Amino acid sequence: MSNVSTTTENKHLKFTPIQSFVESSFFTKLSELKLNEFKLDSTKKQIKGFSTHPRRLNKFNDHPTINFDYSSFDKGLNVDDSNISWKGYVYNVNTIEEFKDIDKQATLKRWGTEIFDKIKDSSADLGYECINKVHLLAFCDLKKYKFYYWFAFPTLHSPWNIIRSEEDIVESFIPSIKDFVDTSKFVQFFQIGDGNMIERILDFQDNKVFVFIDTCLSQECAPSVQLKNYLYILAHKGFEEIDLIIYRNNGSSFFWKLQLDKNKFTINEVPKILGWERLSSGKFGPRLADLGSLIDPQELAKQAVDLNLKLMKWRIAPNLDLNLIKNQRVLLLGAGTLGSYVSRALMGWGVRNITFVDNGRISYSNPVRQPLFSFKDCYSDEGQGEWKAIRAANMLKEIFPDVQSKGYNLEVPMIGHPVNDEQKQKSNFDKLSDLFDDHDIVFLLMDSREARWLPTVLGLAKDKIVLNAALGFDSYLVMRHGNISQESNDHLRLGCYFCNDVVAPNDSLSDRTLDQMCTVTRPGVALMASSLVVELLVSILQHPRKQYAEPGPANSSILGEVPHQIRGFLHNYTQNKLQTPNYKHCSACSKYVIDKLNELGWVFVKNCLNDVAYLEETCGLLKVQQEADLASSELLKDLELSDDDDSEWLD
């Protein structure tokens, strides 16, 4: 740090420059005022700074420091006993160009001249806050939370030389100065007589010792630059030779006998004015505080969400791979009750990429059960209600701006519902297929069984992690679908939602009564299933074998077991873990079906939609059914009475 010095013929007077310290609440307060009060008004506004009271200084206060924080805009001068305050102004300009274009020298001269004019006015009573002032030039970039600022502490130059710096009398004055500093209202510059302090500049007398209360404890005999303004006043008032004690609380007070170089002093001319604060590199220039990460709400939410999860990692599970979870792209088929709760639980785990697919609009019964929607969503969009998928995606962003959420208003082709608009249904299929490609994980959260068929097939064909949650009135099923691994033991692969059926799913919607048309369940069931299915996903992701992890306690990961199915019942509050291998003739996950889909694509899907028998034939269920029919008819045949038997009976 360089010291400002004035050159003299005799001994240099060295001063220690002031350092500003801005705690960021100063800037948050300034931006708040700019937004709500100042607006485009760039005229000067009062501020104040504070410094540690000289009686409290310690060896680390080697520079006079003026601090600024939220309290700098408070009206009035009240500060606590620990500090003294400095008055001044902030000039908050509206553009960075204005900030750069301001003539810094001329501005500083104007500020200095204000002090000069006050000194000239012989009637003015000059308190320390009037002499050493604070000026701040600032520009707030409120969009980026960047603050450009430059402080000036103007000082007036007067040509004094040190003619002597040793004096025995100093020690005798120290106790009374100390007492004055410790107990009286702060005065920075005064005269000391026979135990009396002369505080008013107007009352200063010849032949009495002056005292400057230093605001720093610099190593060398370089008092705070604030002394310069008092010296200028003395020169201006006609003092030519003075005795000065620079008082410090740590025993390093010192003495200067100073003489004014009259040849270099012109009383009516504005003197040389200095005061722009230097950067810590020593150069002159403005500072920049880039506080986005401390203030920007969006940034804060992002950091807080991540940090919250990290706490779990640090405290509970050090090996938790949070980035793996964060980077998953998740596709939610269904944006109803399950979709809402699942998305929220996923966000809780830090998942950032969530896509909804749904083809419904929000109805009046939805918001109470579906936490992403509210009353107004039921009648907006010209009274029809918002599209669920779109609104759900937007709502996630409202909850957490850093989430990448999208919504697709799309009908998933359903098995048992014949194709009646091929162009539309094919495009839905293509879109769905693309969405599968773009995501890592698929949740089946629709309200019907047949809507889950195609996603089950696609999920396996495209090797996605597929999770399924389904609700009964007071029961739920949460499961993961098995994935075909590279290993040859496919008969051990975990089953899917359809593996236990011996018929292909069919239209269950057409002939439903009113109570069956929406999912009629005890309301808490959806929350239970949603939380479980998300936790099951996280357990899968944290398992070293991921989706190929075998269920059961023998294959635990850091989060424990990775079950296949969880079934829960509310009528007796029980929950069971179940595990079933795939059924080789399953209408959704059998190899016959997957192979056919891979071979024929949409044509296969179309055929299945149009005729469930085609699917049953493809997967071999038809044959199984025929065999079963055959077996039962043979059994019947076995039970039939033969003619011989008949005759016996007749006897």
Partner 1 sequence: MIKDGRITNCQFNDHIDEFNELLLQNLRLVTSNSNSEISDANFDIINNYKKELNLNTKIQKKIYMLTRICISGFSLPTSLLVDFTISYDDFYMVPVLYFRVFQDSSRSIGGNIDEAGVTPITSTEELISNYYSVLNLNDDLNLGPTITLDSHHLIYDSSVWFYIHPCETLRTLKEFMEADNILFTCDSEQAQVLKYLCIWYATYGLGGIFPSISLRLSLQV
What residues are labeled active site? 518
Residue 16 engages partner 1 in binding (rule: CB under 8 A): no
Q: Are 139 and 31 in contact (CB under 8 A)?
A: no
Residue 510's contacts (CB-CB under 8 Å, 6 or more residues apart) are: none
Residue 303 engages partner 1 in binding (rule: CB under 8 A): yes
| Residue with smaller CB distance to partner 1, 318 or 544 | 318
| Min CB(22)–partner 1 separation in Å | 9
| Min CB(571)–partner 1 separation in Å | 39
| Residue with smaller CB distance to partner 1, 56 or 431 | 56
| Residue with smaller CB distance to partner 1, 79 or 393 | 79
Taking the C-alpha atoms of residue 410 and residue 334, their distance in angstroms, rounded to an integer, is 10
| Residue with smaller CB distance to partner 1, 77 or 288 | 288
Nearest to 285 by CA among 427, 115, 137, 439: 137
- From 56, 329, 462, 584, residue interacting with partner 1 (rule: CB under 8 A): 56
Q: Radius of gyration over alpha carbons of the chain, in Å?
A: 42
Residue 112's contacts (CB-CB under 8 Å, 6 or more residues apart) are: 154, 155, 156, 270, 271, 273, 275
| Min CB(579)–partner 1 separation in Å | 35
Binding mask 25-44 for partner 1 (x = CB under 8 A): x--xx--x------------
Classified as helix, coil or strand, 364 is: coil
Contacts to partner 1 from residues 58-97, by CB under 8 A: 58-61, 65, 67, 69-71, 78, 80-83
Region of 214-222, 276-284, 373-381, 565-573 interacting with partner 1 (CB under 8 A): 276-284
Residue 23 engages partner 1 in binding (rule: CB under 8 A): yes
| Min CB(55)–partner 1 separation in Å | 11
Contacts to partner 1 from residues 146-175, by CB under 8 A: 148
| Residue with smaller CB distance to partner 1, 19 or 539 | 19
| Residue with smaller CB distance to partner 1, 316 or 368 | 316
Residue count, binding to partner 1 (CB under 8 A): 53
Ramachandran class of 7: left when φ > 0, alpha when ψ lies in -120 to 50, beta otherwise: beta
Residue 375 engages partner 1 in binding (rule: CB under 8 A): no
Residue 205's contacts (CB-CB under 8 Å, 6 or more residues apart) are: 191, 193, 198
Residue 198 engages partner 1 in binding (rule: CB under 8 A): no
Residue 311 engages partner 1 in binding (rule: CB under 8 A): yes
Residue 105 engages partner 1 in binding (rule: CB under 8 A): no
Q: Are 621 and 587 in contact (CB under 8 A)?
A: yes
> Where is 209: in which H helix or E strand?
strand 209-213
Residue 3 engages partner 1 in binding (rule: CB under 8 A): no
Quick one: 36 exposed, middle or buried, by C-beta within 10 A (0-12, 13-18, 19+)?
A: exposed
Tokens of 594: 């997957």
Bridge-partner residues for 155, per DSSP?
A: 274
Residue 315 engages partner 1 in binding (rule: CB under 8 A): yes
Taking the C-alpha atoms of residue 452 and residue 586, their distance in angstroms, rounded to an integer, is 14
| Residue with smaller CB distance to partner 1, 288 or 630 | 288
Residue 327 engages partner 1 in binding (rule: CB under 8 A): no
| Min CB(63)–partner 1 separation in Å | 9
What CA–CA distances, in Å, run from 159 to 7, 240, 270? Answer: 8, 10, 13
Residue 252 engages partner 1 in binding (rule: CB under 8 A): no
Distance from the first to the final alpha carbon of the chain: 128
Binding mask 109-148 for partner 1 (x = CB under 8 A): ---------------------------------------x
| Residue with smaller CB distance to partner 1, 29 or 361 | 29
Binding mask 496-525 for partner 1 (x = CB under 8 A): ------------------------------
For the stretch 293-297, contacts whose Cβ atoms lie closer than 8 Å and that sit 24 or more positions apart, written own/partner, are 294/24, 294/145, 295/24, 295/27, 295/28, 295/31, 295/145, 296/145
Residue 539's contacts (CB-CB under 8 Å, 6 or more residues apart) are: 557, 559, 560, 561, 562
Binding site for partner 1 (CB under 8 A): 21, 23-25, 28-29, 32, 50-52, 56, 58-61, 65, 67, 69-71, 78, 80-83, 148, 279-283, 285-291, 293-295, 299-300, 303-304, 307-308, 310-311, 313-315, 318
